[in-house]
Amino acid sequence: MPTLTADRVEAVLRRGGSARVDDHVAPRFREGQRVLARNIHPRGHTRIPRYVRGHHGVIHRDHGVFVFPDSHAGSGDPRPQHVYSVRFEAAELWGPDAGGRDAVYVDLWDDYLEAAP
Amino acid sequence: MNGPHDLGGLHGLGPVQPESNEPVFHAAWERRAFAITLAMGAHGQWNLDQSRHARENTDPLTYLSQSYYEIWLRGLETLMRERGMVNEAEIQTRMAELSGGES
């Protein structure tokens, strides 16, 4: 097992721990496309917040390809895929009491999303 | 998992209270807990997502009553126990030493 010695600490901290990877994976969605956050309840680790599940949003931006946390936390399988900033209207998430001009942007992986009409 | 870490939309926690000039660590032990976590992570025995899951994977009462670095320390203990890098007796022995005033 490699040991983190004092002389390596600064370099390791500066490098950080990005989950971005160089794999070439085709995006399943494009910017501006309407999507549905899947209504899933995995027993293991997941990064999809409960409050977006089952709700519609729009792909705002494609961040690129990242390790998929759900499989990576389980078996260690990186299953690289695109992550998008998805815009949800506040009223879509919180109902009619939400501010009419408010929106929430959530970073979501390809496997959390389905195409929506 | 539908765990206690997923707080979005939960009522009753009160407003976020930012501190002016907030220190990176609020107690000396937090600095140490963070350093030990990084040092053990360098052994490559788990990835970032596994460490996140170790922190969130507990009962809500425990999770919500622990501070940020208490959660980190508990998560680290879990990861190390699972991999046989530390055992309960070693943790208890060290706890006893510390409660006796040793640092």
The CATH number that applies at residue A54 is 2.30.30.50
In a domain, A40, yes or no: yes
**Spatial separation of the C-alpha atoms in residues A107 and A19, rounded to whole Å:** 13
Query: In chain A, how many domains are there?
Result: 1
ipTM: 0.88
Q: How confident is the model over A68-94, as a mean pLDDT?
A: 97
Q: Is the pLDDT of residue B24 over 70?
A: yes
In a domain, A93, yes or no: yes
**Spatial separation of the C-alpha atoms in residues A18 and A117, rounded to whole Å:** 34
Mean pLDDT across chain A: 93
> Which residues in chain B are closer than 8 Å to A67, comparing Cβ atoms?
49
What per-residue confidence (pLDDT) applies to A10? Answer: 81
What per-residue confidence (pLDDT) applies to A21? Answer: 92
Q: Is the pLDDT of residue A2 over 70?
A: no
Q: Is the pLDDT of residue A1 over 60?
A: no
Of A73, A49, A48, nearest to B78 by C-alpha is A73
B102 confidence band (pLDDT: 50, 70, 90): low
B66 confidence band (pLDDT: 50, 70, 90): very high
CB contact under 8 A, B56 and A45: yes
Q: Is the pLDDT of residue A58 over 90?
A: yes
Residue ranges and CATH numbers for the domains of chain B are 28-98 (1.10.472.20)
Domain that holds residue A87: 20-115
**C-beta separation of B72 from B55 below 8 A:** yes
* Nearest chain B residue (CA) to A52: B8
In a domain, A9, yes or no: no
Nearest residue, CB atoms, A45 vs list B8, B45, B52: B52
In a domain, A1, yes or no: no
> Which residues in chain A are closer than 8 Å to B10, comparing Cβ atoms?
none
Q: Is the pLDDT of residue A39 over 90?
A: yes
CB contact under 8 A, B50 and A43: no
Q: Is the pLDDT of residue A8 over 90?
A: no
How near does any CA of chain A get to the CA of B2, in Å? 7
The tokens describing B8, both together, are: 């979005």
CB contact under 8 A, B48 and A2: no
Nearest residue, CB atoms, A12 vs list B42, B45, B49: B42
CB contact under 8 A, B43 and A41: no
In a domain, A36, yes or no: yes
- pTM attached to this predicted model: 0.90
> Which one has a higher pLDDT value, A41 or A4?
A41
